[in-house]
Amino acid sequence: MTIEKKPSAEAMQAWATRCLRKQGASGDVATAMAEHLVAGDLLGFRTHGLLRLRYNLQALQRGHTKGHGAPEVVKRRAAIELWDAQLLSGLYVLPRAVERAMQMARDYGTGTLVVRRAQHVAALAVYLEQATDAGMLIQMMCSTPAQQVVAPFGAKSACFSPNPFAIGVPTLQEPVLLDMSLSMTAAGKVRTALAEERQLPYPALITAAGDYTCDPATFVADPPSVLASLGGEQLGYKGTGLNLFSEFWTLGLSDYGREDAAAEDGDANTVWLQVVDPTAISEPGAFAQQASQLVTAVKKAEPIDPKKPVRVPGAGALATRQQQLAEGISYSAATWRQLQWCAEFCDEPLP
Amino acid sequence: MTIEKKPSAEAMQAWATRCLRKQGASGDVATAMAEHLVAGDLLGFRTHGLLRLRYNLQALQRGHTKGHGAPEVVKRRAAIELWDAQLLSGLYVLPRAVERAMQMARDYGTGTLVVRRAQHVAALAVYLEQATDAGMLIQMMCSTPAQQVVAPFGAKSACFSPNPFAIGVPTLQEPVLLDMSLSMTAAGKVRTALAEERQLPYPALITAAGDYTCDPATFVADPPSVLASLGGEQLGYKGTGLNLFSEFWTLGLSDYGREDAAAEDGDANTVWLQVVDPTAISEPGAFAQQASQLVTAVKKAEPIDPKKPVRVPGAGALATRQQQLAEGISYSAATWRQLQWCAEFCDEPLP
């Protein structure tokens, strides 16, 4: 159920910036945070859009998220750097990290940033086009050292955080944007199913007794169920391998693991991001040509259901954005109530 | 059913080297090919071990695999290079590519090689320890431009090749070695099920009619079934995303896609490999410490079945190798018959 009013992205971003300023974020920080939350709404990643503004405002007010300052460069070698985000928002730090990685890619062919202690990162999808717009490929992984909610294969207790994985790829047309979790489902989807009193569409949870289940109520039971790694009951060793890939490349390389993360780290994230400049090893334009051939091959695959053409990652999100840029953003009544709370909290009337 | 004799790895490698020499491989090429095939047997990757010697001998004899020469450096920038393997065996070219990537990682923090037109690559697992022994992380992906046997999500026709994905990670103890396909199963496993007249354990194939099935007979029907992407009927969009990751980073970056691959390319592969030197961004030893904590967390997760402790990728393979180095390699009667064929073909009696 969406509300009738469809405010423009511009108006929502300006309003959110004012709210974030009022909770102590500097102009640069507030602008970047608002921009990348609204970017999530525009792409249809609604659980990672302005729905999370309230969380960010409270984190700023309580000092969990810093509103001022700069990430520290902990250590570097030509084509890779480790940053400590100093509990600044990922929404502010990551665009700067992508920019730095792009510069390294121009110089060395690839550029890699590992960023630890970044507060709310939101949807990785919103950072990808910075690289693809410049004709570069980007890969991102994110983990959360103070969280353990995903089980390795064969276990009924959790050791991984929910770990999103994303790629952005330039083509001759619109970019390919992939942003997915490495578990069978995301905690947010379980909570939505719970609120809507329906079962999950497939067994994505493992109960404390060790049973795979579709029942979201087990997630809030005592003891609670945990999320299964991608692959589930049959192939979960593959998802476990991918979660290990994510956590070795983020927590391991950042030298900031679960034994280092303090309780007050809360949701602070560690991000691996890498940009590749394809012109380092092929002629300008060659990569986009090859990438477009791959996209065409996917689109031309014969659909199982003739009414459902085979989809390329990101195509739906980009269409949603185009529509919302033209018509304004659709907010659900539930999200709008959260935004009304923010408006009162900051004394900044909604657009 | 294994044969009684358990020849030593050393004896099998020396014998295979002699066979490969007789089909025209240079000393260096034959030695590297034999070493990395036997390495597959030792780790228990038996479908990628000396079982494939016959294929390699015939490919050398027919000139599909080159026995002499060197890969060409097509283009490079400081921390990334594109090589054309000139139809040399991947078994020979990849160890050299890993060596070069390690040197770049020492200089720049990361080192990346994209290698196109490499013949038989066998198991990616056999190349990982070259990096982990030096305390570095390695990631590898491989695709095959002239093959299309894996369907994207929502399709009943194939557009991807079977794409293995591997990581190697140093720890304080033995390394983590992950080597898996990005599809629901591998073609080899389907053929084994067919030969043994049993169903697959889960629906990993999609028939020409668009049904997910466990029946391996559909794989040789006309029209044949295709392999499903990891995630299957419910979550296959995730496996499709991972297959796209693999193919953009291999075929795309190599500027050698399905429209470039000539029919005579056959099984020639394209490989992305990247090495990270963790000392570029953390103190020596810090990464192995962090990695060991992650491994311990996986091992300590509470098993669903108390009799089946949670496993770390590569642990089983390394135990198999240790045993076979001590006791000799176990070959199945079927594999041994293939080796007897090779022995006659090359007039080189088996050990």
Alpha-carbon torsion (A130, A136, A137, A138), positive or negative: negative
B152 with A310: Cβ contact below 8 A: yes
B281 with A76: Cβ contact below 8 A: yes
pLDDT for res A266: 81
pLDDT for res A285: 97
- At the second CATH level, the architecture of A1-69+317-351 is Orthogonal Bundle (1.10)
One-letter amino acid at B47 equals T
| Residue A240: pLDDT over 90 | yes
pLDDT for res A188: 86
| Residue A224: pLDDT over 80 | yes
Nearest to A89 by CA among A131, A57, A135: A57
Each residue's pLDDT tens digit, A29-66: 999 999 999 999 999 999 899 999 999 999 999 999 99
**To probe the interface with A, which of B199, B205, B226, B244 has the most A CB atoms within 10 Å?**
B244
Residue window 49-78, chain A: list those with CB within 8 Å of chain B: 74-78
What is chain B's mean pLDDT, rounded? 96
Span of A8-22, A254-268, A279-293, B124-138 with lowest mean pLDDT: A254-268
Q: Regarding beta strands B212-213 and B80-84, do their DSSP bridges make them parallel or antiparallel, or are they unpaired?
A: unpaired
Chain A residues within an 8 Å CB radius of B154: 301, 303-305, 308-311
Contact A102, A82 (CB under 8 A): no
Report domain B184-228's class: alpha beta
A109 with B178: Cβ contact below 8 A: no
Q: Determine if residue A325 is left, alpha or beta; phi over 0 gives left, psi from -120 to 50 gives alpha, anything else beta.
A: alpha
Confidence bin at B15 (pLDDT 50/70/90): very high
Chain CA centroid to CA A91, Å:
10
| Residue B1: pLDDT over 80 | no
Of A249, A252, A281, the CB nearest to B76: A281
| Residue A104: pLDDT over 90 | yes
pLDDT for res A2: 87
Q: Mean per-residue pLDDT for B167-171?
A: 98
Residue window 118-147, chain A: list those with CB within 8 Å of chain B: 137, 139
pLDDT for res B188: 86
* Fold of the CATH domain B1-68+325-351: Hypothetical Oxidoreductase Yiak; Chain: A, domain 1 (1.10.1530)
Chain B residues within an 8 Å CB radius of A81: 281
Residue with tokens 């590297």: B32
Domain boundaries, chain B: 1-68+325-351, 70-180+235-300, 184-228
- Could you tell me if A265 lies within 8 Å of chain B, comparing CB atoms? no
B109 with A277: Cβ contact below 8 A: no
Contacts of A342 (CB under 8 A, 6+ apart): A16, A19, A53, A54, A57, A348
For domain B70-180+235-300, which CATH number applies: 3.30.1370.60, 3.40.50.2000, 3.40.50.360, 3.40.50.300?
A: 3.30.1370.60
Name the residue of chain B whose CA is nearest to A177's CA.
B241
What is chain A's mean pLDDT, rounded? 96
| Residue B263: pLDDT over 70 | no
The CATH number of the structural domain formed by A72-183+229-300 is 3.30.1370.60
- Could you tell me if B170 lies within 8 Å of chain A, comparing CB atoms? no
Chain B residues within an 8 Å CB radius of A240: 298, 313
How far apart (Å, rounded) are the C-alpha atoms in residues B168 and A168? Answer: 24
Q: Mean per-residue pLDDT for B301-322?
A: 97
Nearest to A305 by CA among B11, B317, B209, B9: B209
